Amino acid sequence: MLSRLSVSNQWETATKRIDVRTEPCSSICEFGIKLTAASPGVRAGARSLGNRVRARLRTSNEGGQASVEFMLCILILLFPLLIGIFTCGIALHNDLELTDAVSIGARQLAVSQGQCVGAGCPATTDPCAATATVIENTTQFLNPANMTLTFVFGTTTEYSGPASGASCSSSSTSTGAAGNLVQGAAAQVTATYPCSISIYGFNVASNCTLWAQTTELVQ
């Protein structure tokens, strides 16, 4: 009887199914994938869908974390700059408000000679007080107690001091400060107001002073 020939078939060897429960990882490990006992008969090169999803999620999480950290760094750098811009904006607003108020007050002063005020319509004998009242009413965001006003009629300084309580009262319209408001003469109003620009406690301009001045001809 002819003995049964043992044929070594390379194709059969390459395509046979592997029982990973009994056969250790050998040639298929060249693909970098080791079959598990829970998946007998899995073809070499196959990859678990769960592993791919977990790898994708891990990569996405790392990218998202890096983006969040980058945005936080940008905010930390920009926030002090935004605070500085906001603080300087307040100081600029106060300066514009003071300038407008002084301009309005000077126009009021220029026409205050012989202006009809009160019962009986006499001319004002205290042009400084009337002008200071107009300036205080115009500056809604400034504290009059911190404001200083100076009034110069012609070449004479009639008043220099706090806006609150400003006065250059005269006994009549033809004497004192009221008498110095001569038609065609210059009437000058100057105002100063303190300001402080600080960012996180650091004084950028701790002793700055806002200043506004207007000169009008007496009507």
Residue 124 scores a pLDDT above 50: yes
Instruction: Output the pLDDT for position 58.
Output: 61
**Which amino acid is it at 150?**
T
Q: Can you tell me the distance from the alpha carbon of 11 to that of 51, in angstroms, rounded to the nearest whole number?
A: 31
Q: Say if strands 148-153 and 156-162 run parallel, antiparallel, or are unpaired.
A: antiparallel
Q: Torsions phi, psi of 187, nearest 5?
A: -125, 120
Position 68 confidence tier, pLDDT thresholds 50, 70, 90 = confident
Instruction: Output the pLDDT for position 15.
Output: 46
**DSSP string computed for 74-98:** HHHHHHHHHHHHHHHHHHHHHHHHH
Q: CA torsion 99→103→108→111, rounded to 10°?
A: 160
Mutual orientation of helices 127-138 and 49-110 as an angle, nearest 10°? 160
Give percent of the chain with pLDDT exceeding 70: 61
Please compute the mean of the pLDDT values over residues 51-64 and round it to a whole number: 62
Highest mean pLDDT among 12-16, 65-69, 158-162, 182-186: 158-162
Instruction: Output the pLDDT for position 74.
Output: 82
Please compute the mean of the pLDDT values over residues 116-145 and round it to a whole number: 79
Is pLDDT larger for residue 32 or for residue 88?
88
Residue 117 scores a pLDDT above 60: no
| Range in 8-12, 58-62, 156-160, 193-197 the model is least confident about | 8-12
Residue 198 scores a pLDDT above 80: no
Residue 35 scores a pLDDT above 50: no
Instruction: Output the pLDDT for position 62.
Output: 60
Position 208 confidence tier, pLDDT thresholds 50, 70, 90 = confident
Q: Can you tell me the distance from the alpha carbon of 74 to that of 118, in angstroms, rounded to the nearest whole number?
A: 62
The reply to whether the predicted model has a pTM over 0.85 is no
Position 32 confidence tier, pLDDT thresholds 50, 70, 90 = very low
